[in-house]
């Protein structure tokens, strides 16, 4: 058996910098959550087709791990990948809640890519793995590099490690699921004209704890929060002073 942990993330801040080629560009500080992770295991079993267990309710074609499998096949054409997954199934032990702004699906796919690169001896560089990952989702490059803390920009493909003492993070995920595509759509429709990159110059140079102390306003820190509140007004019932909003939601977090 081969096993890898797929960690959650939070966005200390998330600022939209523009929109081009149909996608939003951003600048964000991603921080890995070390005590919350899914586990991906390749378990020996004869399989007639690519087999995933533990992702019930997600159609295979929509599953980020299956997308990663197809992307690696397309990139390498390596028969060892096909052979390996005829003899192993993928078992996912889910702990990261879905539609929560914690990157669970992206982290699972990135962990799958890293582990497959290792066990199938693909010898692809981290940069190449990141480029493959970025075709599946904007968060994958961060999870592929697996830095404890990083500034992420562009479409998510520019990942620069940020040296800091990683904060201990407490999470609270309310019983509300936020659809990322819907939140971004509402942001584009209502808030994209308000984007002012000059308003957050230098944020990427500040340690996460210091930034949260200095700004202390979850709506100012995360451009998607207003869009999420418009899409899911009930989120306001769960907002608490001193807590911040991760990604497109619905998780709130604070540092300890």
CA angle 180, 8, 132 (to 5 degrees): 70
Assigned token pair, 55: 């992702």
| DSSP 8-state class, residue 101 | S
**CA gap 125, 240 in Å, rounded:** 42
Specify whether the CB–CB gap between 21 and 36 falls below 8 A. Answer: no
H or E stretch covering 208: helix 208-215
CB 33 within 8 A of CB 66: no
Respond yes or no on whether the N-terminal peptide bond of residue 250 is cis (omega within 30° of 0): yes
Q: How far is the C-alpha of 143 from the C-alpha of 148, rounded, in Å?
A: 10
Active-site amino acid positions: 9, 139
CA distances from 235 to 2, 103, 176, 188 (A): 39, 19, 7, 20
- Residues 25/154, Cβ–Cβ less than 8 Å: yes
Mapped onto helix, strand or coil, the DSSP state of residue 149 is: strand
> Cβ(243)–Cβ(101) under 8 Å?
no
């Amino acid at each position: 058996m081969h096993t890898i942990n797929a960690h959650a993330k939070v966005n200390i801040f998330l600022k939209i910098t523009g929109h081009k080629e149909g996608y939003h560009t951003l600048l964000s500080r991603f921080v890995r959550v070390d005590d919350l992770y899914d586990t991906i295991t390749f378990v020996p079993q004869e399989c007639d087709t690519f087999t995933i267990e533990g992702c019930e309710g997600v159609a295979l074609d929509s599953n980020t791990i299956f997308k990663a499998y197809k992307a690696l096949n397309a990139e390498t054409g390596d028969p060892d990948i096909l052979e390996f997954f005829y003899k192993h199934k993928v078992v996912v032990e889910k702990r990261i809640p879905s539609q929560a702004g914690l990157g669970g699906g992206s982290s699972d796919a990135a962990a799958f890519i890293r582990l497959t690169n290792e066990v199938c001896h693909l010898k692809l560089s981290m940069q190449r793995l990141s480029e493959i990952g970025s075709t599946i989702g904007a968060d994958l490059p961060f999870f592929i590099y697996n830095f404890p803390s990083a500034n992420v920009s562009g479409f998510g493909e520019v990942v620069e490690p940020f040296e800091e003492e990683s904060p201990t993070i407490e999470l609270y995920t309310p019983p509300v699921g936020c659809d990322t595509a819907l939140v971004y759509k509402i942001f584009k429709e209502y808030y994209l004209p308000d984007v002012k990159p000059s308003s957050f110059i230098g944020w990427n140079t500040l340690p996460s704890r210091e930034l949260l102390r200095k700004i202390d306003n979850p709506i100012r820190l995360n451009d998607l929060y207003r869009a999420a509140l418009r899409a899911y007004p009930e989120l306001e019932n769960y907002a608490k002073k001193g807590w911040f909003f991760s990604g497109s939601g619905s998780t709130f977090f604070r540092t300890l």
